[in-house]
Chain A
Amino acid sequence: MKILSFKSPALLVVVLASTLSAQQRDATVTNRQTQPPETVTNNATAQNTEIESSDAGAQRPIFQKTQSISAFGGLDSRYLYRNNPLSSSETLSFIETAMWINTAYLGASFEPIEIEDAVITPYAGLSYTSTEYLESGLDTLGFHSTSAYLLLMTQHSSGWMLRSGLSYAMDKSESSKEETYIEFYPNVGAMKIHSISDSTIGIIDFSGGYHKSKSDPNPFGPGTSIGELDNYDITASYSVRIMYGKLVISPRYGISYKNYTEGAVSVNNGRKEFIHAANLKLDYPINDNLNVSLFGAYSQRESSGGQLQDAGIIDYDFHSTDAGVSIGLNTTF
């Protein structure tokens, strides 16, 4: 065993802080479910029989739901490669790993409320996600997440879909069985779909909210605040969906801004950051309930401020690449 000796306590703090941060995943960059999956809210994929035009149009009888609650549920399994699972700034300390992420979700939409220029639909849902790191040495970082959300989606006649919701998320460490992160996230968003061609649509999305969190304080900061990961965020994104036969190709770019709000009692005092994310997803629906996907993602964080970062102890900047395959099973009841 190599024994290290430190002449300066400050250097000890720097090395310990860097080492510790390199062995913890960053709960603020975890993707969490805050709204129903696209398969539930997106009606654009509804298939229709091809029928020739007539003056009055084809009159095909339908039958509508009689109950005021429609439930949906599904399973989603993703197997992926991630080159920087710990969101480390140092390329040399990248620990590449395969990951297996499994999600089970249940939800319900309630009776839509039709007003003159809008349709408002309430949703509620919950999900359970298991995240496993398949590289030996990282397997102790595996965790289970539970999330729940309440959401109001308002489709306006202008084409904008507005949403406001409240979500809850909790992470529990697989090894210690302890809750490591809890948050409530009141959030709002606006989305508009526009047609680019017969087979291509563009989607503009804006969202924002406030993450009210609870986690163990960083031992290298003031160490007094369990809310030091509190932050508000705003995100703008643009994505395109290209329908090529049954294949759906979806490139997306998004930029997020986060501002940590806990103040002087927090190690994140003054911390602000931008996160750029570029994704590409190829979906192939096997049938109405089963979908397989290939996906790739690149994300980059540019961070400033924060006590440890200002002191040169930690650098929160990182870049990370994912690539993988997923299979999704969904159904409505």
Chain B
Amino acid sequence: MFSATKENDAEAIFCNFTLGKVELINKSFTGASAISKLDINASLPKDSLVCTGVKSLCELSVNNSILIRSGSESIIDSVDQNLLKVLSGSFLVCIEKETEFSIQSKKSVLKTKGKYTAIIECTSNGGFKFVPLEGKGEIIPEEGNSKEIYRGRLIMIVDSPSKLGNAYDIDLLLLLKSSRLINSFPTPLPSMKRISLSIYAQQLRLKGKFNALIGDAPTDDNLQMWAFGEEETK
């Protein structure tokens, strides 16, 4: 099952890094025998869920060109060179070459074209947030028009067939400083220099910040916002 190595199988999906409790659950089995530990450098078997525990992290490499990071209490249902299917949690996707890649949550699916680094966060409504940190390309929902990837612009992906929901420009510098998916891994993201450039470009255009944080989306029409003070302008 774990015979492939990074050197001889470029098509395989490898685990680059784990922190804490990261387990595989084989969908073909039930009970305790279905659960095994995911080891660093092991290839990912088909038909297995990848689950991270509390305060745990995991990094997978797909085709040596796509990097997928999984945050704590997150579940990947399946992953290959064209699709990341997730059930819950938060993820980071870094695509270094022009690729058509789809992201699917419990309810929604988003097709992307291009190369980019983005954070994906599942929401309670079954959809997810798509937060590109850098990159060029487009996002294509099942219903409605496609949009260009724009650094720092959080877009809610909602419903089925999926649609693009509300979009918010968010503070990339704060996101960078506070995101474990970016900072808590031993190797920096290959796109880190371009992310820094995105932050610089955003700072040039920055006019002000709202003293609020975007939270979960319990329904397609509701989005939690946590206010913490008065509006600050620059």
Contact = CB atoms under 8 A, between A and B. Distances in A.
Interface of A: 43, 46, 48-49, 51-65, 109, 112, 114, 116-119, 121, 155-159, 288, 332
Given A59-B168, A64-B202, 4 more contacts: A43-B200, A60-B212, A62-B209, A156-B197
Given A53-B183, A56-B119, A60-B171, A65 B205 contact: yes
A286 B206 CA distance: 22
Contacts of A62: 152, 169-171, 202, 206-210
A51 B213 CA distance: 10
A109 B200 CA distance: 14
A60 B209 contact: yes
A54 B180 contact: yes
A126 B212 CA distance: 38
B90 interface: yes
Nearest to B152: A62
6 contacts: A52-B178, A57-B119, A60-B171, A63-B169, A119-B200, A159-B193
**Which interface residue of A60, A109, A117, A157 has the most chain B CB atoms within 10 A?**
A60
Contact of B179 (A54, A117, A118, A159): A54
A54 B89 CA distance: 11
Which 4 pairs, one residue from A and one from B, show the smallest C-beta to C-beta distance? Answer: A57-B179, A55-B71, A43-B203, A57-B175
A58 B204 CA distance: 20
A46 B71 contact: no
A59 B131 contact: yes
Contacts of A48: 171, 173-174, 177
Contact of A57 (B178, B197, B207): B178
Nearest to B119: A56
A105 to B, nearest CB: 19
Given A61-B212, A119-B200, A157-B196, A112 B178 contact: no
A54 B205 contact: no
Interface of B: 57, 71-72, 74, 89-90, 119, 121, 129, 131, 136, 152, 154, 168-171, 173-184, 193-194, 196-197, 200-214, 228, 234
**Which interface residue of A53, A117, A159 has the most chain B CB atoms within 10 A?**
A53
Nearest to B52: A55
A46 B204 contact: no
A111 to B, nearest CB: 9
Nearest to B215: A59
Contact of A58 (B183, B200, B201, B213): B213
Contact of A59 (B180, B184, B213): B213
Nearest to B196: A157
A62 B152 CA distance: 10
B234 A332 contact: yes
Given A51-B178, A61-B170, A61-B212, A157 B203 contact: no
Contacts of A59: 129, 131, 154, 168, 170-171, 175, 213-214
B181 A155 contact: no
A51 B174 contact: yes
A118 B197 CA distance: 7
A49 B234 CA distance: 14
Contacts of B154: 59
B57 to A, nearest CB: 8
Contacts of A54: 178-180
Given A59-B213, A61-B209, A53 B179 contact: yes
Contacts of A57: 119, 174-182
B123 to A, nearest CB: 11
A236 to B, nearest CB: 24
Nearest to B136: A116
Contacts of B129: 56, 59
Contacts of B205: 64-65, 112
